[in-house]
Amino acid sequence: MCDTVYRLTPSAAVPELIFDMGRHSFPINDLNRKDIKSDNLIVTDVNVTPKKAVFGVSRGWIGDEDHTLYIGTYDRQTGETRIALASDGITDDLGGFIPFAPAFSNPKGDLIGVLTTDDIEEWYGENPDFPRPEWLNTLPDDSNPILVIVSE
């Protein structure tokens, strides 16, 4: 299967991005007729900004034991694609703080993710030597989720 993201104009649907999974694709004609195999790659979600596309990819069927989720970024200017395990998230390249997965973007093209205090405390359980930012010490355990914004 080759997944295409279209940009809608008043007169047409214009292909914006094409995800070609090559030999790992799931044939569109088999959809709802055959099971997805463990080596099939399926695009599960896409977030497009003016400079990047962030996307999720599922290897195999979601309920299967060997199912794996990936997160990818595509630089629309250079053509570079990077993919990593979704469980690893996107790493903070400035301070090395908790990795996250973007959930949406704003009109400026910033990527936005959400972290809960539980997510952060779990990460600190695995990374106890990482310095705690001052602002984190003032948050109650039941505080609202924290927005993570990545500017391009």
User: pLDDT tens-digit profile of 89-124?
Assistant: 888 777 888 888 888 888 888 888 899 989 899 999
Report the alpha-carbon distance of residue 104 to residue 72 in Å, rounded: 14
Q: Are residues 21 and 80 in the same domain?
A: yes
Containing 58, the helix (H) or strand (E) segment is strand 52-59
Q: Are residues 101 and 31 in the same domain?
A: no
Q: Are residues 66 and 127 in the same domain?
A: no
Say which residue, 108 or 80, is predicted with more confidence. 80
Question: Under a CB-based contact definition with an 8 Å cutoff, are residues 48 and 17 in contact?
Answer: yes
Query: Among residues 53, 69, 88, which one ends one of the domains?
Result: 88
At 15-44, the pLDDT tens digits run 999 888 888 888 777 777 777 788 888 888
Residue 129 has pLDDT above 90, yes or no: yes
Confidence of residue 13 (pLDDT cuts 50, 70, 90): very high
Residue 14 has pLDDT above 90, yes or no: yes
Q: Are residues 70 and 23 in the same domain?
A: yes
Q: Residue 52: which of 11, 99, 102 has the closest Cα?
A: 102
Q: Are residues 83 and 25 in the same domain?
A: yes
Q: Are residues 21 and 84 in the same domain?
A: yes
Q: Specify the pTM.
A: 0.74
The total number of structural domains in the chain stands at: 2
Q: Are residues 135 and 121 in the same domain?
A: yes
Q: Are residues 4 and 79 in the same domain?
A: yes
Q: Are residues 6 and 81 in the same domain?
A: yes
Within 8 A by CB and 6+ apart from 6, the residues are 13, 14, 15, 16
Mean pLDDT computed over 58-73 = 84
Averaged confidence pLDDT in the chain:
86
Domain of 109 in residue numbering reads as 89-152
Query: What is the percent of the chain with per-residue pLDDT over 90, rounded to a whole number?
Result: 18
Report the alpha-carbon distance of residue 91 to residue 73 in Å, rounded: 12
